[in-house]
Amino acid sequence: MSQDADDRLTAGSVLDHAEMAVVVTDRFSNVLYWNPFAERLFGRVGANPGRESLRTLGISEHDHPLAADLAKQVLRGGVWEGTFDVVRGDGTLIYVRAQAVPLRHPSGSITGIVITAREAMRSNEREKDRFGLLERIGERLAGSLYVEETLNRVAESLVPQFADHCFIELAEGDRLVRKVSTHVNGWTPPPGSWPPVGAEISYPLGHFADTALRRQETIMVEDFSQVSYPAPSEGEARLWGEIGVTSAIVAPLCVRGETLGLMYLILSNLTNRHSPHYDTFDRDFVGAIATRVALAVDNALLFEEERHTAESFQKHLLPRVLPSFDGLEIAHRYFPAAPLATHGQGIQTQVGGDWYDVIPLSAGRVGIVIGDVEGRGAKAAAVMGQLRAALRAFAQDDKPPADILARLDEWTRVVASPEHDDFGADITNPPIVTCQYMVYDAWSRQLWFANAGHAPPLLLVDGEVRDLEITEVGQPLGVRAKGMHADLVYKEETRILPAGATLLLYTDGLVDRRPPRDAAAGAYDDDETMTVLREKLAKSSAESVERIADLATGAVPGEIDDDMAILVVRAAGTELQSQERTFPAQPIMVSEARRMASEAFEAWQVPEERAELACLLVSEVVTNVVLHAASAGVPRRELVLDGPPLPFDESWDVPGFEEEMAGDKEFTLRLRRGGESVWVEVFDQDLRLPRIRSAGENDEGGRGLYLVDQLARRWGSRPTREGKAVWFEIPIGGR
């Protein structure tokens, strides 16, 4: 061998000119040396290897476990081989095929690692490398649940490594719509050339893409200088000449006997490649990729369809539009759960048992509820739907919140699916449900509530955020011990809301998030989470309820894991109009009550026709109260056994009943003015609730409540601590 040849074969010369990356690290994966090709491959030209580690060479974060595996295996004396995703210094993604071997001291001990690497798509071992790349693409696609994300991952995998331009088009009915248009080095097609994302695509007859779709096979054009095809448009034809399109492959996306669309890859003179033309091996490789892409897209389409079904299922179980209420601003939000990777996706894991409701009650009062059925899935959602419907029905009785929860607790046991053990014993487990039920009166700003194991609402007042004070938190519905009556578990409490105060009711999905930080930093604990939420809400307490709902949704870092319901309610900052007066239960007071109502309606500028109708019904209801105050002469606490029970009918015009009046009875007339209605309530000490009676043709009475029922928008009665209240609503603007 000549001396010149010997000089050219020095170690330094070989490594400097070798078209393969060589990287040497110590036992702790700190880079000691790399050759010039490694600098270019990893995009680290000019960087100091002494300040780099194996992980900082651009290896993608999800491949860090592979890098750790490499170090462990090689430092034990083994050989490691595999493929990394590498993000270069300019931001482009490449696939790097690497082999690692131990670096040994002359004594035989392992002092470091020697890694040889090359870009997977440009090696001479194409078959081996591309099978590895195919596996990597499959891994990337397997982690995608959404169509857009899936398609973008495909394009990122293929450009610029395998193509300069990538188009993916999907069929929507009988149309072909472009979903992806990705190009090398951030290049953008000029207007009027290639159609943009979202455009409908039509290939002329004889175009190779049209042939691929019709034949359902992968078509390759190896060299465009040797063949010609009709162009879809003049602008596209000009662009092909400007950028020098050299070769293309079009693969249909076929799965389960259906063609979902096509994937279109192009090489051009925008890059300087070793070979600017595809060959048959490339065609087969793209066909294999298209098969995996089609399956991933089909799965993503199925997932999105199931997700839509899940959301529709859940949302139709919840109130879609809440009515407006006087003295109360309301905003609501609902978000389905994130899918569970271990249990599949879609309706089985995304729907849940969170619910909210706002229920119109008597005389402008409002029932407010938020609850959470334990678990997720269709069963939890079905239980939630039954409980929401049951609570709405129970609420119409206008019972105290504690009584409502007690009845709902019993209903929770009713809806549980019966189960028995091998010996026939009942082992039914009712669902566990947390619930907060409130009744709010906007005129008095009084809030009655009872709690069944639910997180207390947040109270926003004058820039401060704190928990609403709840001293009696009952057990969740469905877990009450046998022998303990529900009345002993659920207690009612009362608070007065300050003018303009805001309540935020929420389920645990608001604060239980997937950790936003890496494993080393740790996730937020409960106290940190609530601190973050309160701080962000305090800064926005003066915002609208809709804005507060939006801010609360994103206040806690991390991805939504469980389904989440939010209800934001704000008390009016001004006093609502009302009048109230107590009268002796005497016939002469009927006209006085009517006069009071007439004057109030006039002062409130209620239209004359509406005011006269309301006054008529005031007379009917007050007359009924006066009549039955006279007939209720027996003390309420005395049990009378002789004679039939007193009938309660609507014979309000019995002659001579004035002589039987009890002088110590009273009734209270309460009038309220809302934005669209007036409410009338009449309170007395009689426990008997009125009912509509069918009056005979010749009966003198029995038609009073029939008139109320026909002329009022709504009416009803409810028990009070002292007796009962009869109420009705008259719309101001019409029936």
> What are the pLDDT digits (tens) for 273-307?
878 888 888 888 888 889 888 888 888 888 777 77
Q: So what's the pLDDT on residue 528?
A: 81
Torsion angle defined by CA atoms of residues 672, 674, 678 and 683, in that order, rounded to the nearest 10 degrees: -30
Q: What is the mean pLDDT of residues 624-643?
A: 58
Q: So what's the pLDDT on residue 186?
A: 80
Torsion angle defined by CA atoms of residues 714, 719, 722 and 724, in that order, rounded to the nearest 10 degrees: 40
Per-residue pLDDT tens over the stretch 675-694: 899 999 999 988 887 777 66
List of residues 6+ apart from 451 with CB closer than 8 A: 435, 436, 470, 472, 473, 474, 490
Q: What is the mean pLDDT of residues 214-234?
A: 89
Higher-scoring residue by pLDDT: 672, 85: 672
Per-residue pLDDT tens over the stretch 450-476: 999 999 999 999 889 999 999 989 899
Which of 32-46, 340-354, 440-454, 485-499 has the least mean pLDDT? 340-354
Residue 384's CB is within 10 A of a number of other CB atoms, namely 25
Rounded-to-integer distance, Cα 295 and Cα 253, Å: 8
Give the whole-number percent of the chain exceeding pLDDT 70: 82
Rounded-to-integer distance, Cα 628 and Cα 690, Å: 10
Are 337 and 351 in contact by the 8 Å Cβ rule? The answer is yes
Two tokens at 27? 């036992």
DSSP-assigned beta bridge partners for residue 167: 181, 264
Two tokens at 341? 């990777």
Two tokens at 574? 């001004």
Higher-scoring residue by pLDDT: 12, 34: 34
Q: What is the mean pLDDT of residues 202-223?
A: 91
Per-residue pLDDT tens over the stretch 328-367: 999 999 887 766 544 444 445 566 788 899 999 999 999 9
* Residue 106 scores a pLDDT above 70: yes
* Residue 518 scores a pLDDT above 60: no
* Residue 506 scores a pLDDT above 90: yes
Higher-scoring residue by pLDDT: 161, 572: 572
Half-sphere CA count of 493, side-chain side, radius 13 A:
18
Two tokens at 502? 């805001």
Tell me the pLDDT band of 606, cut-offs 50, 70 and 90.
Answer: very high
Q: What is the mean pLDDT of residues 476-493?
A: 78
Q: So what's the pLDDT on residue 332?
A: 93
Rounded-to-integer distance, Cα 104 and Cα 106, Å: 6
Please report the sign of the dihedral spanned by the C-alpha atoms of residue 546, residue 574, residue 595, residue 671.
positive
What letter represents residue 568's amino acid?
A: V
List of residues 6+ apart from 191 with CB closer than 8 A: none
Q: What is the mean pLDDT of residues 86-112?
A: 84
Q: Tell me which range, 4-13, 478-487, 723-732, is most confidently predicted by mean pLDDT.
A: 723-732
What letter represents residue 136's amino acid?
A: R
Q: So what's the pLDDT on residue 11?
A: 66
Mean pLDDT of the chain, nearest integer: 82
Q: So what's the pLDDT on residue 656?
A: 45
Are 71 and 113 in contact by the 8 Å Cβ rule? The answer is yes
Q: So what's the pLDDT on residue 91?
A: 72
* Residue 155 scores a pLDDT above 90: no
